[in-house]
């Protein structure tokens, strides 16, 4: 029996989007699907291809851009016509999982507004940007094993916290925070010793996902000098269940903001471009911030080129993220340390004055981008709720 999938004209998951994910119909194993409206298309059943009959996108991602285009074109043909009803599932009747097992995870610091805000908070008597910031995309290596799919609960982490006495104590983080970010998933890897040319971005990157890089600011503040983030960042990073292919974001490409001084040659693109993506951060259901990705200083291609500039290898499923997306206005800040200005300017959340996350709080990050027609493209959501620290 065949059916036609009805999608509202203003749906952010219309036929111009078609993000990929891993889903499991009730009582069955995970497999790859494409979201259309409030439905999921089972690609293994529809395309009769075993590539998609597995709980992960890695095999498909590794097949490269020609194959990505072929499958996307075929799926667009299917949603424009009739499809086998047995291959269509209501989103409300399936479970979604981690779209790909992440190999390596790198987090950047690519927003000039975020970096400037933190510089003013931490170094009020100095220049907010450190001397290297305008010359390279600053980043650090995270912990891939703690990347979890949206909806996974986050346990408040323990760690060393600085005190006024200068001697640390140990306990649950008191300044638990979020970072609204955009993640990029590598489809086609690169061998050790071979830097990725900046103009190879489209041949390497499969798609994007929303990221919440949970951060324990008090643990981070004590430990990060001189080597950078460690336990304050490695306890959990949430990723959206749906991966938006780059092809769906063509209409979102915009010129990159001016970079001064001019980057070194390996960071110079033939076409300097960024992405016009609007984020919304909701705290216990209340929108509190609207970070604009269009303001990002370093481009996605520059981040990839710098990540591999020393010859570091990349593999299918590797993830790198933009770092916190923030803008110049107070309501465009993509972390609570910025939004509450280090805890000195509480945010009104459902009638309560708040600074950092309390147990039971839930944060939901969503984003949309311009589509080729009138409807916008939705990048799904990344959601997580804070659970109390576990006794030790």
Peptide bond preceding 87 in cis form (omega within 30 of 0): no
3-state secondary structure of 377: strand
* Cα gap 142→285, rounded to integer Å: 28
Asked if residues 210 and 244 have their Cβ atoms less than 8 Å apart, the reply is no
What are φ and ψ of residue 227, in 5° steps? -105, -5
Give me the residues paired with residue 176 across strands: 216
- Strands of 143-277 (E only): list them: 147-149, 154-155, 158-161, 169-172, 176-177, 180-186, 205-213, 215-216, 237-239, 244-245, 253-255, 273-275
Give me the residues paired with residue 148 across strands: 238
Region for residue 228 given its phi and psi (left: phi exceeds 0; alpha: psi -120 to 50; beta: otherwise): left
Of the listed 89, 114, 135, 141, which one is catalytic?
Answer: 114
Asked if residues 180 and 366 have their Cβ atoms less than 8 Å apart, the reply is no
114 has catalytic annotation:
yes
User: What residues are annotated to the active site?
Assistant: 114
């Amino acid at each position: 029996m065949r059916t036609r999938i009805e999608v509202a004209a203003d749906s952010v998951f219309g036929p111009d989007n078609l993000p990929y994910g891993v889903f499991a119909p009730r009582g069955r194993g995970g497999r790859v699907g494409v979201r259309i409206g409030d439905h999921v298309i089972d690609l293994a059943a529809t395309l009769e291809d075993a590539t998609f009959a597995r709980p992960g996108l890695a095999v498909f991602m590794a097949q490269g851009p020609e194959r990505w285009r072929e499958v996307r074109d075929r799926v667009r043909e299917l949603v424009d016509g009739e499809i086998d009803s047995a291959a269509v599932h209501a989103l409300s009747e399936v479970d979604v999982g981690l779209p790909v097992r992440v190999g390596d995870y790198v987090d950047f610091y690519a927003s000039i507004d975020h970096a400037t805000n933190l510089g003013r908070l931490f170094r009020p008597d100095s220049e907010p940007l450190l001397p290297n910031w305008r010359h390279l995309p600053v980043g650090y290596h995270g912990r891939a094993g703690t990347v979890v799919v949206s909806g996974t609960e986050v346990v408040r982490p323990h760690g060393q916290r600085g005190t006024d006495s200068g001697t640390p104590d140990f306990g649950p983080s008191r300044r638990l925070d979020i970072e609204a970010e955009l993640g990029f998933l590598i489809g086609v890897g690169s061998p050790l010793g071979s830097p990725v040319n900046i103009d190879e971005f489209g041949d390497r990157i499969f798609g994007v996902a929303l990221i919440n890089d949970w951060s324990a600011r008090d643990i981070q503040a004590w430990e990060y000098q001189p080597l950078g983030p460690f336990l304050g960042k490695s306890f959990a990073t949430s990723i959206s269940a749906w991966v938006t292919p780059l092809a769906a974001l063509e209409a979102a490409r915009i010129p990159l903001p001016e970079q001064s001084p001019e980057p070194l040659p390996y960071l110079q693109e033939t076409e300097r471009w960024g992405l016009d993506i609007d984020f919304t951060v909701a705290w216990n259901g209340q929108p509190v911030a609207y970070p604009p990705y269009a303001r990002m200083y370093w481009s996605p291609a520059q981040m990839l080129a710098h990540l591999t500039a020393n010859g570091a290898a990349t593999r299918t499923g590797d993830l790198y993220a933009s770092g916190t997306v923030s803008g110049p206005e107070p309501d465009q800040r993509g972390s609570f340390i910025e939004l509450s200005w280090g805890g000195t300017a509480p945010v009104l959340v459902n009638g309560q004055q708040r600074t950092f996350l309390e147990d039971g709080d839930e944060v939901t990050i969503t984003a949309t981008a311009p589509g080729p027609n009138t409807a916008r493209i939705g990048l799904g959501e990344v959601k997580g709720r804070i659970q109390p620290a576990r006794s030790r």
